[in-house]
Amino acid sequence: MTVRLREGESFDSLLRRFNKEVMEGGIMKDLRRRRWFIPKGEQRRMDERKGRRRARLMRLRQMQEEG
């Protein structure tokens, strides 16, 4: 990831642009995910649990909106 200093740009502005690029690129998310090794089977189970939880929350929100 590279960010070039623009003419007349302060270091704070440059650092802000760099941080924005890193966040948008998903680099920090990827690093956190790779911090510990998780076997594929365990990752699949975690993803399924997240999906079920997300679906349950969506159903609850829809029920609240309806009545």
Burial category of 17 from C-beta neighbours within 10 Å (exposed 0-12, middle 13-18, buried 19 and up): middle
* Separation CA 18–CA 2 (nearest Å): 8
Q: What is the pLDDT of residues 15-25, one digit of tens each?
A: 999 999 999 88
Q: What is the pTM of this model?
A: 0.49
| Residue 20, in any domain of the structure | yes
By residue range, what is the domain housing residue 36? 11-66
Q: What is the pLDDT of residues 44-61, one digit of tens each?
A: 999 999 999 999 999 999
Mean pLDDT, rounded, of the chain: 92
The structural domain count of the chain equals: 1
State the residue for tokens 């649990």.
Answer: 49
| Residue 44, in any domain of the structure | yes
Locate 6 and state its tokens. Answer: 């623009």
3-state secondary structure of 6: coil
* Separation CA 14–CA 48 (nearest Å): 40
Supply the pLDDT for residue 66: 87
| Residue 5, in any domain of the structure | no
Locate 43 and state its tokens. Answer: 């990752």
| Residue 2, in any domain of the structure | no
